Structures are given as C-alpha cells and as structure tokens.
Structure 1
Amino acid sequence: MTSEHTTKQPEHGLIALLALDALLLAILELFFLPSYLGPVQFPITAAVAAVTNPLLVAVTAKSTPNGAACWVPVLVWFLTVFVLGVFGPGGDVLLPAQDWRTYLLIAAGVLPAAAMIGIVRNAPPGAR
C-alpha cells in the first residue's frame, strides 16, 4: 500500500525535471537561433522547439492528473526565452524585435505546445 505522500513525490520530481529540460532547451534554442547554413539564415532551433515543447507537455500530462501542471514546461520555456533574450548575458539582446527569427522561435515554441495542452486537457482521463 502506498500513501498519498509517496505517490506525489515522484510526480513533483518528474515535473521539476521536465521544467529543467524546458529551461535547458530554451537556452540552447536561443543561443543557436542565429545559425546559418552556408550564406542562408537557417533557424533550425525553431523546428526543435516546435517538436520538443509539445512532447514535454505530453509527458507532463501523462505523469500527473493535474491539468494545470501541463503549463509548467511551456511557461518555463517562454520565461527563459524572454528573460535571456531581452536581458541576455552581459546585457546583450539575443532576441532583436526587428528579426523574423525572434517571432518564429516564439511562435514555434508556444503555439504547438498550447495546442498540445488543449489536446491533453480535452482527452478522457483514461486516455492520458
């Protein structure tokens, strides 16, 4: 027999680990956003964000019955991108407002994840 206390601990630990994953992914995606493939701007990290953020949401939804916890990886990712992008290391602005890659990264990171939240929140409880 397991008590409620012992079943909550791994759940919180997994959510914290997924939040850490979101933080690390946001940092890497932000730093590699201005990548080039030869002479062409190639923001592959926007595609990485579009795939990994919904996966983090899906894993969070599978690990907890608390639907609000699904927002944790998305919020951590967004806050990391925003704070590090605007206030950057050493005061550098990593997300210039006039660059199309800025908007692509934010849209690719948030919109698919928000769609996944809608999917998992509307799924029957047994289907998670």
Structure 2
Amino acid sequence: MTGGEGHRWGLFVLLLVDVVLLAVLELFYLPLRLDGLILPAAGAVPVPVTVLLAAATTPLLVRAAAWVAPPRLAVVPLVLWLVTVFGIGLAGPGGDLVLLQDWRALLLLAAGALPAALSLGAVLARSPARGAAHG
C-alpha cells in the first residue's frame, strides 16, 4: 500500500465517521419547534431543519466516497446513514425511541436516502464497467 493509497483510506474512514455523526445530529434535532427554546417563539410550529441538512449532505458524502475509494464503495455512506438512523432512532440511548412517529421521520428518511440513492446511481453509471469485455 502506497502512502497516497493509505491517505485515501484514512479519508474514507473519516468520511464514514462524518456520516454517523451527521445522522445522529439530524435525528436528535429533528423535533425542533419554533417554541422559544432553541429557535424563536412562533406558535410551537415544527421546523425539521435537519431534513435540509440530510438532503444536502448525504449525496455529497456518497460522491466523496466514490472520489476517495473505489466507486463500488460509494454505497457504504448511504447504508451506514440508514443503519445509524434506524439503529439509534428505534433503539436509542437507554432504549428510548428517538425516531419521531410522524411525518418528520418520513421526510428525514426520504430527504436523506433518495438524493443519496440518485447520487449513487450517477456515480455507478460513470464508473467503468468491470467485466464488460467478457461478452
């Protein structure tokens, strides 16, 4: 293993740590409301801002994974994000249910997984097909 290759694998591991941290952050701040505690008071309206964070970061993490590791490993951030959201969301700290049981949870899952899946498809479509010459 060359120094540059080891550096890329180190970046890949760091990227996976980032995936887990972002998933936990998105999950724990999903119940934010305009109630005056963290956000300004405006009638306690739910404001799932972490949905926007998930929609922006998961596709970027998939593309970054394809850049630092072989493109076939670009699926790992998406799978790890889903495992983290479901794992901590359904069996959170102390066995608590952290994943909300309303529309915000569905919105988080859709906004995190769908753009990342589209990005994964684009990455895999651009990668050279291995074994295509065996026809």
Q: Letter of the aligned partner of 2:71 in structure 1? A: G
Q: Which runs of 5+ in 2 are unaligned?
A: 35-41, 129-135
Query: % of aligned pairs identical?
Result: 47
Paired position in structure 2 for 1:81: 85
Residue 105 of structure 1 deviates from its aligned partner by 0.7
Where do 4+ consecutive residues of structure 1 move more than 4 Å? none
Residue 8 of structure 1 deviates from its aligned partner by 2.7
Partner deviation per Cα, 1:36-73 (whole Å, 9 max, x = no partner): 12321010101100000101111111223x22210111
Residue 34 of structure 1 deviates from its aligned partner by 0.3
Question: Which structure is higher in helix share?
Answer: 1
- The CA RMSD measured in Å over matched residues stands at 1.4
SS of residue matched to 2:31? coil
Alignment partners' CA distance in 2, 1:112 and 1:49: 9
SS of residue matched to 1:17? helix
User: Would you say how many aligned residue pairs link Structure 1 and Structure 2?
Assistant: 119
Residue 12 of structure 1 deviates from its aligned partner by 1.4
Q: CA 1:13/1:36 → structure 2, altered by over 3 Å: closer, same or farther? A: same
Partner deviation per Cα, 1:67-109 (whole Å, 9 max, x = no partner): 221011111111111110000111110114x411111111111
Alignment partners' CA distance in 1, 2:99 and 2:111: 14
> Which has the higher relative contact order, 1 or 2, with Cα contacts under 8 A spaced 6 or more apart?
1
Paired position in structure 1 for 2:63: 58
SS of residue matched to 1:40? strand
Alignment partners' CA distance in 1, 2:77 and 2:15: 6
Larger Cα-atom Rg: 2
TM-score (norm. length: structure 2): 0.82
